[in-house]
Structure 1
Amino acid sequence: MDRITLLGLRATGFHGVLPRERAEGQPFVVDVVLGVDTRAAAASDDLARTVDYGVVAQEVTDTVTGPPCDLLETLAQRIADRCLAHEAVREAEVTVHKPRAPIAVPFDDVTLTIKRSRA
């Protein structure tokens, strides 16, 4: 399986369990790795035979800025579902970064990574 990787997609979302997170919002960063068989696209040089990563990038950021959820797990699943809605995408690995998570000790980042594939 070939991979198309989008790293560091940034958007402000209102996800989290704390009222402050829902009211103020915070930055989220998303990395997406799409499993795609790119042979047909390479042979034909036809965008229609692969996935348009510009469209996927917009859909990922739209999901982050969209309806809030409590858990990173839910947000990551929503993103994976959007990616898998593209016919060419056979699997999606999604990492959601929450660099301003409400943690009381010094930290660099909080991430959740999920991997989903077509059933």
Structure 2
Amino acid sequence: MNTDRIALKGLRARGRHGVLAAERELGQEFVIDATLFLDTAPAAENDDLTRTVHYGELAEALVKIVEGEPVELIETLAQRLAEVCLDNDLVEAVEISVHKPAAPIPLPFGDVVVTIERRRA
């Protein structure tokens, strides 16, 4: 079996995740990168969208999670995003990165990123 990748990079959504009350109240932009590991050969062989992951629908599902119920940790957010990806039976594993470029850090910085990898059980 092939292990191919479908990557969705730089997906932006506004959420209210964080430990501080101001983060929950005001919200901020989060940036999501998702790399899905699956066999795309059956889809390519028949030019059949139903045999792969529809990345447009995936993007909508991920944004719904970011815009949904707030959590304190972006590690928790990353886990929820990974679970959505693994809901598709074709996906063998996923790597999720959650960027929090406006994290409340009182020093100059470029980005805060949590990256997790999850496999189908």
Structure 1: unaligned runs, 5 residues or longer: none
Shift of 1:59: 0.6
What letter is aligned with 2:92?
R
What letter is aligned with 1:48?
T
**C-alpha distance in 1, partners of 2:60/2:10?**
13
What letter is aligned with 1:95?
S
CA RMSD after TM alignment: 0.5
Structure 1 segments of 4 or more deviating over 4 A?
Answer: none
Deviations 1:62-86 (A, max 9, x none): 1100000000110000000000001
Question: Which residue pairs with 2:7 in the alignment?
Answer: 5
1:104 aligns with 2:98: no
Question: Which residue pairs with 2:23 in the alignment?
Answer: 21
Structure 2: unaligned runs, 5 residues or longer: none
Aligned length: 119
Shift of 1:87: 1.4
SS in 2 for 1:112: strand
1:113 aligns with 2:110: no
| Aligned match for 1:77, one of 59, 76, 79 | 79
Identity %: 55
TM-score for the superposition, normalised by structure 1: 0.98
Question: Which residue pairs with 1:49 in the alignment?
Answer: 51
